[in-house]
Each structure stands twice: as C-alpha cells, then as structure tokens.
Structure 1
Amino acid sequence: MLIRRAFFYWQFPAAVILPAWILVGWGVFAATGWQILGLIVGVMMLTVGMLATAGLIFARKDVRADKCVSWLDVALLTVLHGLVISVGFFTPATAVLGSLSVVALIALFWSGIVQLVVETRKRVRSALAGFEEQASRLQAPPRTSRIDGEYIVIETSADGRTPPRI
C-alpha cells in the first residue's frame, strides 16, 4: 500500500521533474545545442503525455478514494520513469530508450483508459442493481378482494364532489 500510495503522489510532480531531468542531463552529458533545441519539443510532448496519463489514473474513483494506484499502474509507471531517467544520460542507446519510453507511455495511456472503463462499468452496474432493488421493494402488494359483507358505494364526479340526488 505504501508503494502504491507513493506513486499516487509522485505521478504529477514526475510529469515535470523527469522531463526537466532529460534537459539537464543532455546538457551535462555533452549534447549539442541543436540536439537540445530539438529535444525541447519532445520534452514538452512527454510532459503532456505524462500529465494525461496521470489524469486518467486520477479519474478513477477507487484511486481517488484509496489515494493509491493499482499494481499495474505501478509497474508501468516504474518502467516509464526508468526509461525517462535513462534517456537523460545521453548514451549511444538513447534513441532506443527514447522509443521504448514512447511505447511505455502509450501502454500506460491505454491501460488507464481500460481500467477507467472497467471501474466505471462496475460502478454503473452496482448502481443499477441498487435501483432495481429499490423498485422491487416499492412495488405495491397485490390487491386482494375483501369479502366482509355489504358495501355502501358513494359515486363521485370527476372533480371529487358528490353528485346531487334527484
């Protein structure tokens, strides 16, 4: 629970801190000015993508209520964050690691959508079951005819008044 809760609180700051690390890392590990200039666009898209996935994860009611992400989210976020950190070191494998980061981000995005749909479907079904249960309890009991003797029937008009007798 502690790890899942840590990822819950870390996902929004990570969307800003990790792309900033890529810029700093590339500057420290001797990337050229043109490479860093081109990297700025990629870093902005990475930030938007990470914020979108964090928003999808946060949109689930169970996540907000428990203040912790699912284990699948933890696994995918760990892979994504590890890849983003490794891209910041500007090694010869940076292009492959960057491509894998995009794949991990897409996987996290679709995982968030699927989990959101499944959880929403479960909540809607339970709400509908509750409505059906209430409707079944509110149905009037079947009428039975009474047999206790004679009745006096008073006919009334449509407006509820008794019609005059002639």
Structure 2
Amino acid sequence: MSASLVLHIVCPTQKRGFAACMSFCFVCLLAYGLASGARNNLSPGVIVFTACALAIVSVAAWALYRNFVFRDELYIAREGELPPIELAFLLDEIRAVRLLPAPEAWTPEAKWEALGFGHGRIEIETATHRYHFGAGLDERAANDALQRINGFCLAQRSVAVAA
C-alpha cells in the first residue's frame, strides 16, 4: 500500500511526574503497612488490608504503564487491510473528527488525565461509535494532529470531515 494512502500517527508517552510520584508513595506506604501488619499478627483485618493493598498497587502499576509505556496510535487507510489496533479505520468509516475542549482543572476528567488515564481530546466519530485519540498530547500537538487528520481526509476524498 502506498504511503500516501495511509495516515499513521503515534503519540509519545505521557511521562507525567504526578502519576509516578503518587504511585511511588502508594507502594511505599503499603509496603510499610503490610510489613508492620504481617509482623504483628495475621488477623482478618491484615488480610483485608493486604487485599486492598494489592488492588491499589495494581492501579499504581497501571498508572505507571499508562505514563511510561503506553502510546496512543491512530491508523487511517483509504483501502486495504487494517492492523489489529483499536484505532484503525478505513477512510469511508469516519464521519467526523473534532477537538474536544480541555477539561477544567477541578473536574474528574482532569484529575484522571493528571494520573495518565485520560482518553485524548481528538474525537473520531464513525457510524457506530465515538473514539478518543491523543492521550498525552498538549494543546498545540493536539491541534497539529487534528490538522494532519483533516488534511489527509480532504486529500483522499472531496468531502470534508467535520472539524
């Protein structure tokens, strides 16, 4: 397939320091709590605390993965076979592409984004679903990615994608 018939955008990793700091603090506190609780006794309370600690450590590990390993990837092709990723579309499937406003700092969406669990501000609408792309992109990078998507869609077909 020709390179001009494919748009492939990969976002860089987020590398948010807040998520790394919070994950480190959670793991240290839980390790201390588990060590002191297991040393004293193995009562049902310690077992429940251990189960909760494992849940929190798994969330911390997920936050570290989302911040230092995960890269949001978009693939749009005019025709042909698509790679096995969630955000892979044929050009004819896309109905609209738009940039969502940045969440206000006090909203739950902004807090999840600060931990690295944001979904991205570029919304891609198909006939069946709305997908979000651009996790970790700042305002300028999100606008650049949106312009690349719109430019590709306009170059490949005469119908404009709603922005």
Q: Which has the higher strand share?
A: 2
Normalization by structure 1: what TM-score?
0.35
Q: Which has the higher helix share?
A: 1
